[in-house]
Amino acid sequence: MLKVKIFTLYPDLFPGPLNSGLYKKAQENKIWQLEIIDINKFAMDKHATVDDTPFGGGSGMVMRADVLANAIDKNVNLNKKEKIIYLSPKGKKLEQSFAKDLSKLKNLNIICGHFEGVDQRILETRGIQEISIGDYILSGGETAAYVFLDSIIRLLPGVIGNPNSLKEETFENNLLEYPQYTKPQKWEKKSPPKVLLSGDHGKIKDWRLSQSRAITRRQRPDLWKKHLSKKKK
């Protein structure tokens, strides 16, 4: 079982989408479990202060290291070196390979940032890894946490009905997925490629691979370079 803890200033936003569909069923089947940690409860003054102005000046507020450390130290087993992720736009970009690695863990802790971020000292002293879900800014880490966990939970054994479908997805072998078609066979005077109706599985496999390569080369030259370099190894 993957045990997930989310540290947030807005606990009411969870479980949200994570309590529906495959993810709800997976929780019921004890494939993963979710615990929400309200950072506000670990403030150490009567005003429940969790942030303050940044040293050196500037706009916005910064989440305090002492408050966040209080929350982490009381909920994470640091002796076991449990993985702690801080969702941040300046973190390393999330990739499928990393999601696969995380899906093999037993414990995963996620910090949802706000304001102008968190005090750098908490990241350094607690061995927290910064991860970004993309090159854009969100109002808070909670929505990023939905995306982040979605990419991981679906990879857990028993979550996806047909595990073989995971092997041909986008980003496998650094390729984008090929086009898909279904019924009706003819729609608005358009039909799917004849090869998909041929019943020749060898030709279908070759067509799909060629489409994946062409799409990746055209739309994601960065992935195409990775694909070519991996083939050479």
Q: Are residue 125 and residue 218 in the same domain, yes or no?
A: no
pLDDT tier for residue 140 given thresholds of 50, 70 and 90: very high
Mean pLDDT estimate for the chain: 94
Buried residues in 44-71 as b, exposed as e (16+ CB within 10 A): eeeeeebbeeeeeeeeeebbbbebbbbb
Residue 165 included in any domain: no
Same-domain check for residues 63 and 97: yes
Q: Are residues 95 and 181 in the same domain?
A: no
Q: What is the pLDDT of residues 100-115, one digit of tens each?
A: 999 999 999 999 998 8
pLDDT confidence of residue 23: 94
| Domain match, 14 and 55 both | yes
Please give the pLDDT value at position 170: 63
Chain segment 179-223, per-residue pLDDT in tens: 999 999 999 999 999 999 999 999 999 999 999 999 999 999 999
Are 17 and 81 members of one domain?
yes
Same domain? 71 vs 181: no
Examine residue 178 and state whether it is found in any structural domain, yes or no: yes
Write down the pLDDT at residue 176. Answer: 92
Any domain includes 54: yes
User: Alpha-carbon distance 153 to 143, whole Å?
Assistant: 16
**Count of domains forming the chain:** 2
Residue ranges making up the domain that contains 177: 170-232
Domain boundary residue, one of 121, 153, 185: 153
Q: In Å, what is the CA distance from 173 to each residue of 72, 176, 228?
A: 36, 9, 10
Q: Are 176 and 144 found together in one domain?
A: no
